[in-house]
Chains A and B, each alone.
Chain A
Amino acid sequence: MSQQVAVADKIVRHRVGHHWPNAELEFSGAKLGFWIFLCTEILMFGGLFVAYTYFRSLYPETFHEAHKTLSIPLGTLNTGVLILSSFTVVMAIRSAMVNQRKAMLGYLYATLFLAGAFMFVKLAFEWPHKFHMGTLPAAFYTYDGLSHVPKPHIFYGLYFVMTGLHGIHVLIGMGLITWLIIQGHKGVFYKGYFTPLEIVGLYWHFVDLVWIYLFPLFYLAG
């Protein structure tokens, strides 16, 4: 990136809320609040990982056989896409902190594009394949290639709940990034105020973190 400081033509200067003594406290309060929220997210997703562990240890051969039906290339592609999007979002924040509004917007658009790409791979390739094969939760399970292991539908039940909840988080993130782009065009974010960028950034990294664990547990570890 070029390091010239491009002061935006119309910065909307921030004013702290009437109940905050200063912007530093307001900023650190918002961050603390969001770290606490992420703590609740850990426990919510964590419940799913506990269920995964419970049934993986109960039916290990099922998980071993069923994981082979997932596509490692597509999973790896999506892992790369999310990692790159984590980088672009952190660069968007950095750009705001050095008053480079155009760069900030560019990185935000890139993040939104990568998030869309992730969902595209999911919804256009991975899930339709499973609908076609019938490797689905129990109510819709029709696949007969795993009849030699017990309860294969549980693997797919967990797969769809866990990647589904993660996918919902990606969609919410896309909504939030869109909102950041709109606000960014208005000139709201600059060196003196970038709290929403920072918060959505934390959220987006968390979405990446969940995927960092989902990927090996479902696609790789047999």
Chain B
Amino acid sequence: MAHHHHSENIHEVDHEPLPTKVYVGVLVGLAFLTFVTVWVAQFDFGILNVPIALAVATMKASLVILYFMNLKYDKGFNAVAFLAGFIFLVVFALPTLWDRETRDALDPDRNVIVHHTRPGYPPQVTGEKPAEPKAEEKAAEPVAAD
């Protein structure tokens, strides 16, 4: 759809489609990446498992968006509208996840960081060692509601 031929007929559009081989190529690429993602899933990369899976998924998504959905050759503002969804999703996600990471994190009296974000689990203390005895520290720190 790269070329627009404006005819005198205002009632009908006139667009050139992409060649079939592009679509076949994308299909093959998607099938290959699906194979890759299933294949790598049998190996344990520890903390990298999810990033690897998401990276492959994003490659697949890019192929679909750019060629099947034709965004590569489309009006620029359509891409802006679509990307706004992802950008504002990040605006939502980051503070929300960040809140939990930092929840109950500041305890200036004892100069420690206390994480007790997980219902049913004891709080984890990081930072400088507390000046008070440990028994008192535990008593002073309320456990997260569960």
Contact = CB atoms under 8 A, between A and B. Distances in A.
A and B touch in the complex (CB under 8 A): yes
A86 B64 CA distance: 8
Contacts of B125: none
A105 B18 CA distance: 19
B24 to A, nearest CB: 8
Interface in A170-193: 191-193
Nearest to A75: B38
Interface stretch (A36-44, A122-130, A138-146, A159-167): A36-44
B4 interface: yes
A214 B118 CA distance: 25
B13 interface: yes
A23 B82 contact: no
A194 B70 CA distance: 15
A21 B82 CA distance: 26
Given A94-B18, A192-B13, A222-B44, A212 B61 contact: yes
Given A47-B92, A79-B34, A36 B11 contact: no
A23 B120 contact: no
Interface string A74-111: 00100110011011001101100110000000000000
Nearest to A220: B41
Contact of A31 (B12, B31, B61, B78): B78
B86 A213 contact: no
Given A84-B27, A216-B53, A221-B41, A46 B92 contact: yes
B13 A87 contact: no
Contacts of B41: 72, 216, 220-222
B15 A97 contact: yes
Contact of B65 (A41, A150, A209): A209
A216 B97 contact: no
B100 interface: yes
Contacts of A47: 92
B45 to A, nearest CB: 10
A58 B89 contact: no
B19 to A, nearest CB: 9
Interface residues of A, number: 64
Contact of B92 (A1, A14, A50, A221): A50
B89 A83 contact: no
Given A24-B6, A192-B11, A192-B14, A35 B96 contact: no
Contact of B93 (A50, A58, A87, A206): A50
Given A16-B10, A23-B11, A90-B23, A209 B61 contact: yes
Contact of A221 (B53, B61, B78, B88): B53
Interface string A52-87: 011011110000000000001000100110011011
A205 B69 contact: yes
Contact of B97 (A27, A32, A50, A220): A50
A90 B81 contact: no
Nearest to A90: B68
Given A13-B11, A36-B81, A191-B14, 18 more contacts: A1-B20, A15-B11, A22-B11, A23-B10, A24-B13, A35-B79, A46-B92, A49-B89, A50-B97, A79-B34, A83-B30, A87-B24, A97-B16, A150-B120, A208-B68, A212-B57, A216-B41, A222-B49
